Chain A
Amino acid sequence: MGLLLAGYATGLAAVAGGACAPRRARVAVAGALSALAAVLVGVAGVRVLAGGVAVHGTFSGVLPFTTVRLRLDALGASFTTTVALVVAAASLFSIGYSRGPGASRTAVALQSLFALALIVVPVTGDVTTFLTAWEIMALASLALVLIDHDRPAARAAALWYAVMTQAGAAAITLGLLVTSGRAHSTSLLAPASSHLGAGALGAVAFGLTAAGFASKAGAVPLHVWLPRAHPEAATPVSAMMSGAMTALGLYGLTRVDLGMLGGLARGWWIGLLVVGALSALFGALHAVTSTDLKRLLAYSTIDVMGVGLTALGAAGALRSLDGVAATLVVGVLVLVAAHGAFKALLFLAAGLVERASGTRDLDLLGGLARGMGRTTALVAVAVASATGVPLGAGFVGEWLVVEGLIGALGRSDAGGVVIALVALVAIALTSGLTAVAMVKLLGIGFLGRPRGEGARGASERPGITIFSLGLLAIATVGLGTVPGPFVAALSRAAGVVRGTPAGAPRGTVASVSLGAAATALRPLALVVGAAALTAAIVVLARLGSRTVRTAIAWACGRADLDARMQYTATSFAEPLQRVFADVLRPDVDLVVSHEEESREVERVLAYQSRVDDAVERGLLRPVVRAVDAIGRRARWIASGSVHRHLAYGFAALLVVLVVVR
């Protein structure tokens, strides 16, 4: 507990430092203190994971009307460590990065506050503390999106975000009220053998909390804010939003819905699974077609979170099967940790690229490997992790989830088999599409030749920014190559979730083994094997020719190759855009103008394709219009007359008197 409190005190000091420190020191002081706070809290989390003993404390007088309850158990600790890692890296990064509007007093203080709220949320022990921390987190991030409020895109993003996050928070509050009312306790731990999820009230609680948490995790159709808000925020903030805040949506679902609402009908879990599957596919498809670096990353966040939602839905629906639910939940926890690390890395790297080249448009980037070698190498590590290359962290999570589902196929009734199969198919297709998006990100953005002036002159300076990227890369590789201890700790965390005690994955330093699918992952053996084989192949290749000659690219005989002849992000994604045209509904414009002498000779070809959010266009816009219309009609209620408003107050007072008596 001492470590935690020290961490939170440091976090508060960071906020104060951001608000009060002189202009020059502000960014460094706040960043360093925030990072230190995250490290302290993270260490507390690791200690709980390693020792398995939950720490808790109650403090009265901190907040008015209520006591603050903190509780760090294994499940909370798994999220705490992930969030702390992301916050620490992003805070360090901001020391070397923040300037301009991102370094203003408000921005720095708010960023520290956001960082603090993030590391508090998974450590809260009761409903009121949780909701308070949650709301601070939401409001701080909302204000951070608005920092650059001169840009219309930022204002639009903030509006969407404000609506979604406040509606989400309201839903969560109501849902938690229902739950704690039934439990006669505000604790976030369900009393043993309760059936809080049973009956209509249980369904209501599930619907409200799941909708609120899922909207934080960017679930379709409540995702609209995410691809707008994440790119609009300053780089360290977008890294924290994407790597840590979305993960807390999954935390809420695991803690409240899986952990407390026992006895819920299967259909609700299937609903969550379907929403998750749709989100995963939707996010992955849009990540494939996006050409804006940060938008691509934001959509890929929707995709990973969608996979997490799918797995949680499946875990809920298949919780009667020994080992399956536990494997799925542990898989989600690993996936969240891996995603936090690699997505924060990618967002931070995207910030560096934007600053160095002046653009986020992949169609204007390319060839960054030459000027930004370190960044490229670190991005490659993150991309490997994101695409499910074995030895990447993402693979471990995906492996656990997929194995859990396959384990369910052999043992379930027909309904269970179909559930597992649907989840499996959605995750498989998502994983394939993610690979395309990530290859596009690395191959188009960093390899090849520069497509624009900005990319040509881009360079990097080693420093704390690259260091913080490296930190995340080390975490990714560590989790990918030695996942065993982490998995073992998470298996204890899964015990908090109802219905998952038996058959959880087992982990040692060298392996992770599963009862559910009777198989094991041995990453260290793979590392040794790969090293030996690499040595053998290099030796073999040396037996042949050793001469390497630099030549111009052959390109089927074209000598005057220029950078514009390369594939672009748009053309790279074109085949998939065409295959999924019915879902994506792209707007494609092809303008051809001909030479005057002959209609056969084309002079200018202009191709433009835009993929708008079909869900937003088809589903949410009409809702917005309808609300707008109702608002206009209801305008007479608030006419602006002071007397009328006072009369409302008076009437309300009378009603309260009558009702309460």
Chain B
Amino acid sequence: MNGLDDGLLDLASVAVLALGVAALWRRDVRALIGLLRAQGVALALVASVEALSAHDVGLGATAVLVLALKAGAVPWVLGRVAARDPGAREGAPLINVPSSLVLAAALVGLAVVTGAPLARLSSGHAAALAPLGLATALVGYLVLVTRRRPLSQIVGLIIIDNGVALVTFLLTSGVPLIIELGGSLDVLLVVVVSATLVGAMRARIGADELDELEELRD
């Protein structure tokens, strides 16, 4: 692996994390979907840099798959759901935006400190970046926990998945194509199912903020 590859890998991995953090900042649902798309591209870039440097065709195919699913299909499905409710915004998240951003910074710090053993699992430049994937997953979890809209929560879920994928790409230079295929398709399935659910809910009760739904349980 040469210096240029290393540099690209650095930039792409950090981009995955930074885009995840940005999801905490933006409220506009369409902007969130845009962030997901960009994150998918960055993740695919990580995979393809790894594939090129290892001359691994299977990994290359995985990169294409990631690009198609995470930068293509998933955002597309989410975009369709969002299109039915134009101008949808995350109103008041459970933790306000500045606090959740500061919290995200803390989580990244935590991930880098606790993820140090992760970086030692394998030698080489890529493995050193693995804590970034862990950080991304933690940030995704924060999105999942603090946001009220189901669509934003799905975004959080996908960010977690992207973080985990980043760790696997960096540590193992890619998992076998079939496993990545399975994982990614699972995510797509989750997205499609929950998107349908959101649509149905909105059609039935006209609201989808989770807090407003609490009384349904009674």
**Within 8 Å by CB, do A and B touch in the complex?**
yes
Q: Chain A interface (Cβ within 8 Å of chain B)?
A: 413-415, 417-418, 421-422, 579, 582
* Least distance between B94 CB and chain A CB atoms (Å): 12
Stretch at the interface among B80-88, B108-116, B177-185: B108-116
Question: How many Å lie between the Cα of A417 and that of B109 in the bound state?
Answer: 9
Q: Chain B interface (Cβ within 8 Å of chain A)?
A: 96, 98-99, 109-110, 112-113, 116
Q: Which of B96, B109, B116 contacts A421 (CB 8 A)?
A: B109
**Which A-B residue pairs are the 8 nearest by beta carbons?**
A418-B109, A414-B112, A414-B113, A415-B113, A414-B116, A418-B113, A421-B109, A418-B112
- The closest CB in chain B to the CB of A429 belongs to B102
Question: How many Å lie between the Cα of A413 and that of B109 in the bound state?
Answer: 12
Of the candidates B96, B99, B110, B113, the one having the most CB atoms from chain A within 10 angstroms of its own CB is B113
Of the candidates A418, A422, A579, the one having the most CB atoms from chain B within 10 angstroms of its own CB is A418
> Which residues of chain A are near B110, meaning CB under 8 Å?
418
Query: Is the beta-carbon distance between A582 and B113 smaller than 8 angstroms?
Result: no
Query: Is the beta-carbon distance between A582 and B96 smaller than 8 angstroms?
Result: yes
> Which residues of chain B are near A415, meaning CB under 8 Å?
113
Query: Is the beta-carbon distance between A582 and B99 smaller than 8 angstroms?
Result: yes
Question: How many Å lie between the Cα of A422 and that of B96 in the bound state?
Answer: 20
Question: How many Å lie between the Cα of A421 and that of B109 in the bound state?
Answer: 9
* Least distance between A645 CB and chain B CB atoms (Å): 55
Question: How many Å lie between the Cα of A418 and that of B115 in the bound state?
Answer: 13
* Least distance between B109 CB and chain A CB atoms (Å): 4
* Least distance between B92 CB and chain A CB atoms (Å): 12
> Which residues of chain B are near A582, meaning CB under 8 Å?
96, 99
Question: How many Å lie between the Cα of A413 and that of B112 in the bound state?
Answer: 10
Question: How many Å lie between the Cα of A414 and that of B111 in the bound state?
Answer: 10
User: What are 15 pairs between A and B in contact, CB < 8 Å?
Assistant: A413-B116, A414-B112, A414-B113, A414-B116, A415-B113, A417-B112, A418-B109, A418-B110, A418-B112, A418-B113, A421-B109, A422-B109, A579-B98, A582-B96, A582-B99
* Least distance between A579 CB and chain B CB atoms (Å): 8
Besides A413-B116, A418-B110, 11 other A-B contacts (C-beta < 8 A)? A414-B112, A414-B113, A415-B113, A417-B112, A418-B112, A418-B113, A421-B109, A422-B109, A579-B98, A582-B96, A582-B99
Question: How many Å lie between the Cα of A648 and that of B125 in the bound state?
Answer: 73
> Which residues of chain A are near B98, meaning CB under 8 Å?
579
* Least distance between A277 CB and chain B CB atoms (Å): 12
Question: How many Å lie between the Cα of A45 and that of B110 in the bound state?
Answer: 45
> Which residues of chain B are near A417, meaning CB under 8 Å?
112
Question: How many Å lie between the Cα of A413 and that of B96 in the bound state?
Answer: 32
Question: How many Å lie between the Cα of A475 and that of B58 in the bound state?
Answer: 72
* Least distance between B110 CB and chain A CB atoms (Å): 8
> Which residues of chain A are near B112, meaning CB under 8 Å?
414, 417-418
* Least distance between A269 CB and chain B CB atoms (Å): 15
- The closest CB in chain B to the CB of A415 belongs to B113
Question: How many Å lie between the Cα of A582 and that of B113 in the bound state?
Answer: 29
- The closest CB in chain A to the CB of B102 belongs to A425
Question: How many Å lie between the Cα of A422 and that of B105 in the bound state?
Answer: 10
> Which residues of chain B are near A418, meaning CB under 8 Å?
109-110, 112-113
* Least distance between A427 CB and chain B CB atoms (Å): 15
Question: How many Å lie between the Cα of A582 and that of B96 in the bound state?
Answer: 10
Of the candidates B96, B99, B109, B112, the one having the most CB atoms from chain A within 10 angstroms of its own CB is B109
* Least distance between A421 CB and chain B CB atoms (Å): 7
Question: How many Å lie between the Cα of A272 and that of B112 in the bound state?
Answer: 22
- The closest CB in chain A to the CB of B112 belongs to A414
* Least distance between B180 CB and chain A CB atoms (Å): 29
Question: How many Å lie between the Cα of A582 and that of B116 in the bound state?
Answer: 34
* Least distance between A415 CB and chain B CB atoms (Å): 5
